[in-house]
Chain A
């Protein structure tokens, strides 16, 4: 369901601009880049979760023919991570998780690097490892970062030095105690969301080259957010950022795992010691699983007060985020996730505590959905429990509580252009909600909301080349989501160019202007706005020039199909080619449009109350429905179908939107039903391979119906908003709810494996027998 428009490019199902390169295997990814004199890297990693390093012996490794550089943390003693500068390029005196880089080697070829890595000897003094976040929060717990209070950091969160808590998020709103006293009923439940990995098909990769004569560092990398990476590297090194160039070719998937520095610091540490020779570091799949980032476990406790009619009047929540050995995005994830545990509902009284807790485990990074799948698993599971207890239809229960235009969120923001109800009703229709289900089957419908990161800016150039073709210069990276195609569509539309005349550059901080990140579903909205502005700026210049050459008033001109026409006179026009070149008689140089965008009025949250007039440029509104069948003998959940409804504001390219929805739903089904990282008691990952870590294959993905609703956003480019993360948010909760609908069994821990479902079924059976 998308609106028909008078637009030429926007809203059209145009093929992806990168499709031809990709179906012919010519699209360039980081690991495909070969540079003259390039060395290859290997990393020696910690086998222990927590230990002091007593000594490192690389003498035998150095003697391997072809080895050119060996570095330890002391050779590049820098700390990175924008939010909280707690992570060394390679560890210095202490290892904090199994897989942490300890020594890096650069050699002429893989064989030499691998042989040298085998010969490195590291002596450790083991320390007690803290693997459980609740244990890590106890006062007597060993400290993973004794210097927590000394790290440079973003001031928008609250670390507690002397503990393992790197952010305590607080939200205080209304009078919670009074509301609980006045409630008809109070529901209290705990939920657990399990650790998983992103599994981009392309493992993390980076090539670093440092030229001592010019002082220039260049990093080609599979990174979602080139400016974020460049700024962070420059800050860590203490250099001006123009000496750090970050180039991002195509990414083979990211899903959050490639936001922020990951393998780049190790490659840079080596490159500082290779006398100008570039160094390539490509993760193995085992390293991808055990030494990049994961989506960490989250423990959620919810207390919710309701009236007899099902209005939610208060919520108290405690959310514990297991962030692993380093902060990465953890403190921000804890903040954004915890304030979202309200769900897309109007709740006047709230008391939320979020704790981001260090443990000696794999580092938690951003994951598509940024905490909302975890939060929604809790709040949408509880929503169904409440509806069931009150005897209210689950969809009706949501209708009664959904935020609508003019309502206030948990953080005190008043919302408009809210597509929640539209999404919920579309989902209920597509799921044929009112229709009775056959025995043994269960259905569920959930609604979720996710904010995007704010305040965050994006800038763009739209350049008219001498032959009238158009180059869009943005730092948004193409990782599969289709950004190059939609940026080209928006640029073509705003400029009046033919889509085939528009090219979008790969991100390169030497040329493409600053942009916060390709994350948080933000690019279509933020970068889209910058691109539209830049294209309109270039259009103004075209019109001015055409006005002089055509001797017509600018108001009498129109731009379409890469030409400027005198309105109503089809044969009086100039092509972009004719206008781009310098023309005698018109004193205008080459045409370059600029655009720069930041959402107006966005402010950080108050640290004591979690309140702000505006915390995000837009919200992603989602409603998802599932129908399942549960095998009572095996506990296996068969998903019969999924309906996934998204308020896109306006869909710039419906094919791209639907493809995002399908992929996100598949990822969420895989996460909820199959995937789980399993660690042993020493903190070692037991399943760092696709053979042991189950990922949905072509045989596992259920039929998916993507549905787009359009409630145009007042500030969105052509009304558009982001969409990419929405499809991952509600599925886990929907599946748990549908399982209860089918079997009467409520499961509050993920994943929903056959073993867990079967155990729950048996327990229910047993308690029923005991009761009789």
Chain B
């Protein structure tokens, strides 16, 4: 259903919930998730698919929501950091490891990195350090030098294998 202003009502499936949102055809998923679905954990850092802060999982695969039209996400399973684990209990092992290893500084890149790392661990339960670094290469972090992020992902992998 399209209104004269070009707005349409669509349904997105976000972190297991069905959510109705109003969008125009050119609206990107990142803005819709942030403004209409309350997912402030999806960050916008570059609007040109080059920093990774807006990463979400689409049917389990990392995508950059700043270049994905909201309408193209209809019928897909969208996972944001809010779907990864909930405080204070029920955290994902990755989240636990990030806390333990001081792998967070400003926290702006953290949600995107956690989601990429989760996708990596689903695919490869025992990644090497090199594989972790490769997987995270599209997610910029300006605070940590990646040292503790890589350490935390490797530890989360070990925890999950147990």
* A interface residues with partner B (beta carbon < 8 Å): 15-16, 18-29, 31-32, 34, 110-111, 198-203, 250-253, 255, 282, 284-285, 479-482, 655-656, 658-659, 662-667, 689-691, 695-699, 701, 704
Contact across chains for B47 and A285 when beta carbons are under 8 A apart = yes
Interface size on B, residues (CB 8 A): 59
In the assembled complex, B69 has its CB within 8 A of some CB on chain A: no
Contact across chains for A202 and B144 when beta carbons are under 8 A apart = no
Could you give 8 example pairs across A and B, Cβ below 8 Å?
A: A15-B102, A16-B104, A23-B104, A25-B80, A285-B46, A480-B105, A667-B142, A691-B48
A-contact 0/1 string along B38-65, CB 8 Å cutoff: 0111111111101101000000000000
B residues in contact with A21, CB < 8 Å: 87, 107
Q: Which 9 A-B pairs have the closest CB atoms?
A: A25-B41, A666-B145, A480-B106, A252-B108, A22-B107, A480-B105, A25-B81, A690-B50, A32-B40
Tell me the residues in window 96-124 of chain B with beta carbons closer than 8 Å to chain A beta carbons: 98-100, 102, 104-111, 114
- Measured between C-beta atoms, what is the minimum distance from B95 to chain A in Å? 4
**B102 partner, pick from A282, A285, A656, beta carbons under 8 A:** A656
- Residue among B94, B98, B102 with max Cβ neighbours from chain A (10 Å): B102
CA distance A701 to B139 in the complex (A): 13
B residues in contact with A201, CB < 8 Å: 43, 45, 51, 53, 106, 108-109, 140-143
Contact across chains for B43 and A202 when beta carbons are under 8 A apart = yes
Contact across chains for B40 and A28 when beta carbons are under 8 A apart = yes
**B98 partner, pick from A19, A480, A695, beta carbons under 8 A:** A19
In the assembled complex, B76 has its CB within 8 A of some CB on chain A: no
Contact across chains for A253 and B142 when beta carbons are under 8 A apart = yes
Contact of A23 with B95 at beta-carbon distance under 8 Å, contacts A200-B106, A663-B144 already known: yes
- Measured between C-beta atoms, what is the minimum distance from A14 to chain B in Å? 10
CA distance A199 to B43 in the complex (A): 15
CA distance A481 to B106 in the complex (A): 7
B residues in contact with A481, CB < 8 Å: 105
Contact across chains for B145 and A697 when beta carbons are under 8 A apart = no
Contact of A659 with B102 at beta-carbon distance under 8 Å, contacts A20-B88, A704-B145 already known: yes
**B34 partner, pick from A32, A199, A697, A699, beta carbons under 8 A:** A32
| Interface SS of B by simple majority | loop
CA distance A21 to B107 in the complex (A): 9
A residues in contact with B145, CB < 8 Å: 662-667, 696, 701, 704
A residues in contact with B40, CB < 8 Å: 25-26, 28-29, 32
CA distance A251 to B43 in the complex (A): 13
B residues in contact with A25, CB < 8 Å: 39-42, 80-82, 110-111
In the assembled complex, B148 has its CB within 8 A of some CB on chain A: yes
CA distance A199 to B139 in the complex (A): 13
Contact across chains for A690 and B48 when beta carbons are under 8 A apart = yes
CA distance A28 to B108 in the complex (A): 10
CA distance A482 to B103 in the complex (A): 12
A residues in contact with B148, CB < 8 Å: 659, 662
CA distance A285 to B48 in the complex (A): 8
**A480 partner, pick from B42, B140, B143, beta carbons under 8 A:** B143
A residues in contact with B82, CB < 8 Å: 24-25
| Interface SS of A by simple majority | loop
Tell me the residues in window 1-47 of chain B with beta carbons closer than 8 Å to chain A beta carbons: 24, 31, 34-35, 39-47
- Measured between C-beta atoms, what is the minimum distance from B29 to chain A in Å? 14
Tell me the residues in window 134-160 of chain B with beta carbons closer than 8 Å to chain A beta carbons: 134, 136-150
- Measured between C-beta atoms, what is the minimum distance from A480 to chain B in Å? 3
Contact across chains for B99 and A15 when beta carbons are under 8 A apart = yes
Contact across chains for A663 and B91 when beta carbons are under 8 A apart = no
* B interface residues with partner A (beta carbon < 8 Å): 24, 31, 34-35, 39-48, 50-51, 53, 80-82, 84-88, 91, 94-95, 98-100, 102, 104-111, 114, 132-134, 136-150
Number of A-B contacts (CB under 8 A): 173
- Residue among B82, B88, B140, B145 with max Cβ neighbours from chain A (10 Å): B145
- Measured between C-beta atoms, what is the minimum distance from B49 to chain A in Å? 9
A residues in contact with B146, CB < 8 Å: 666, 697-698, 701
Contact across chains for A479 and B106 when beta carbons are under 8 A apart = yes
Contact of A252 with B50 at beta-carbon distance under 8 Å, contacts A667-B145, A704-B147 already known: no
- Measured between C-beta atoms, what is the minimum distance from B120 to chain A in Å? 12
A residues in contact with B51, CB < 8 Å: 201, 285, 690
A residues in contact with B35, CB < 8 Å: 34
Nearest B residue to A692 via CB reads B50
CA distance A662 to B99 in the complex (A): 17
**B114 partner, pick from A23, A664, A704, beta carbons under 8 A:** A23
Contact across chains for A24 and B45 when beta carbons are under 8 A apart = no
A residues in contact with B139, CB < 8 Å: 698
Contact across chains for A689 and B50 when beta carbons are under 8 A apart = yes
Contact across chains for A15 and B43 when beta carbons are under 8 A apart = no
CA distance A282 to B138 in the complex (A): 23
Contact across chains for A699 and B134 when beta carbons are under 8 A apart = yes
**A24 partner, pick from B50, B81, B137, B140, beta carbons under 8 A:** B81
**A655 partner, pick from B42, B44, B102, B136, beta carbons under 8 A:** B102
CA distance A478 to B31 in the complex (A): 25
Nearest A residue to B53 via CB reads A201
**A26 partner, pick from B41, B42, B48, B150, beta carbons under 8 A:** B41
CA distance A282 to B133 in the complex (A): 30
A residues in contact with B98, CB < 8 Å: 19, 23
Contact across chains for A662 and B144 when beta carbons are under 8 A apart = yes
CA distance A28 to B47 in the complex (A): 20
Contact across chains for B142 and A199 when beta carbons are under 8 A apart = yes
CA distance A282 to B34 in the complex (A): 14
- Measured between C-beta atoms, what is the minimum distance from A661 to chain B in Å? 9
**A698 partner, pick from B39, B42, B81, B150, beta carbons under 8 A:** B150
- Measured between C-beta atoms, what is the minimum distance from A642 to chain B in Å? 10
- Measured between C-beta atoms, what is the minimum distance from B68 to chain A in Å? 17
Nearest A residue to B42 via CB reads A25
Contact across chains for B100 and A15 when beta carbons are under 8 A apart = yes
CA distance A21 to B148 in the complex (A): 18
Contact across chains for A659 and B105 when beta carbons are under 8 A apart = yes
**B140 partner, pick from A198, A656, A664, A695, beta carbons under 8 A:** A695
Contact across chains for A690 and B99 when beta carbons are under 8 A apart = no
A residues in contact with B134, CB < 8 Å: 698-699
B residues in contact with A690, CB < 8 Å: 46, 48, 50-51, 140
- Measured between C-beta atoms, what is the minimum distance from A759 to chain B in Å? 28
- Measured between C-beta atoms, what is the minimum distance from A96 to chain B in Å? 27
Contact of A18 with B107 at beta-carbon distance under 8 Å, contacts A24-B82, A285-B46 already known: yes
Nearest B residue to A252 via CB reads B108
Contact across chains for A663 and B143 when beta carbons are under 8 A apart = yes
CA distance A699 to B108 in the complex (A): 20
**B142 partner, pick from A29, A200, A699, beta carbons under 8 A:** A200
B residues in contact with A284, CB < 8 Å: 47
CA distance A284 to B50 in the complex (A): 13
- Residue among B41, B87, B146, B150 with max Cβ neighbours from chain A (10 Å): B146
CA distance A141 to B20 in the complex (A): 61
CA distance A284 to B46 in the complex (A): 7
Nearest B residue to A18 via CB reads B107
Contact across chains for B46 and A202 when beta carbons are under 8 A apart = no
B residues in contact with A23, CB < 8 Å: 81, 91, 94-95, 98-99, 104, 107, 110, 114
B residues in contact with A696, CB < 8 Å: 145
A residues in contact with B95, CB < 8 Å: 23-24
CA distance A97 to B146 in the complex (A): 35
CA distance A658 to B84 in the complex (A): 28
Contact across chains for B86 and A24 when beta carbons are under 8 A apart = yes
A residues in contact with B94, CB < 8 Å: 23
- Residue among B82, B87, B95, B107 with max Cβ neighbours from chain A (10 Å): B107
Contact across chains for B105 and A663 when beta carbons are under 8 A apart = yes
Nearest A residue to B107 via CB reads A22
CA distance A129 to B148 in the complex (A): 46
**A482 partner, pick from B53, B91, B105, beta carbons under 8 A:** B105
CA distance A198 to B34 in the complex (A): 25
Nearest B residue to A727 via CB reads B145
CA distance A701 to B141 in the complex (A): 11
CA distance A198 to B143 in the complex (A): 11
CA distance A690 to B147 in the complex (A): 21
